[in-house]
Chains A and B, each alone.
Chain A
Amino acid sequence: SYELTQPPSVSVSPGQTATITCSGDKLGDKYVCWYQHKPGQSPILVIYQAVKRPSGIPERFSGSTSGNTATLTISETQAMDEADYYCHVWGSNTAHIVFGGGTRLTVL
């Protein structure tokens, strides 16, 4: 089965740039999404198709992909950005949906 690997945690100072990675086989060839998930709330889609932002998502959130790695970048990180972030792909061969294990972003 297809697997996505994320670091368990990332820390960043307010105002700095946070980078969260997601790795998987031939990830650059797949539809990659990122979700923000805060405790007690529903997940929110922040990036789709690796680089696109849904309406209403701040420009501080951006995505990129290269080879086997997708990256979520949060510029000028704010305390409100503290959350768990999950990468997710649509499996091109199986049409299954796969989530990464999640990364807890801490804004110190």
Chain B
Amino acid sequence: QVQLQESGPGLVEPSETLSLTCTVSGDSISGYYWSWIRQPPGKGLEWIGYIQYSGNTNYNPSLKSRVIISLDTSKNQFSLNVISVTAADTAVYYCARVKWWSSSYHGMDVWGQGTTVTVSS
């Protein structure tokens, strides 16, 4: 059974870089897309971006200038970096598997438990 686990600092200072890693266990990282999603306090889910196994990425236009998602196939991990953070980046951050099957989109079918990141000095 595939499982995802987010890891990274829970506190980041303003203007610094937020860095999170998602470790995939129980299955290979190949053959899927992998995504990051966040939920600010009191707000809804916000898609951040995703990375394909090939390394191609796609980002939410509202965050594109500050976000990088990368893949480490040797460790079965993918990562998120958000630069120049502000208090508005405070959120619960989730990683998720994006499932395409037989050329059809099957949604984000496996999620990590989420990790809370607070931006504050």
The total of Cβ contacts below 8 Å across the A-B interface reads: 65
Within 8 A of A (CB), among B48-107: 50, 58, 60-62, 94, 96, 98, 104-107
**A contact residues, total (Cβ < 8 Å):** 25
B106 lies within 8 A of A43 (CB): no
In the bound assembly, the distance between CA atoms of A90 and B89 in angstroms comes to 24
Main secondary structure of the interface of A (DSSP, over half): strand
Instruction: Kindly provide the distance from the CB of B7 to the nearest chain A CB, expressed in whole angstroms.
Output: 15
B94 lies within 8 A of A42 (CB): yes
Contact code string A54-73 (vs B, CB < 8 Å = 1, else 0): 10000000000000000000
Cβ–Cβ < 8 Å partners of A97 in chain B: 35, 47, 50, 60, 98
Cβ–Cβ < 8 Å partners of B45 in chain A: 35, 37, 43, 86, 88, 99, 102
Interface residue from A48, A54, A84, A96 paired with B105 (Cβ < 8 Å):
A48
Residues of B within 8 A of A (CB): 35, 37, 44-47, 50, 58, 60-62, 94, 96, 98, 104-109, 111-114
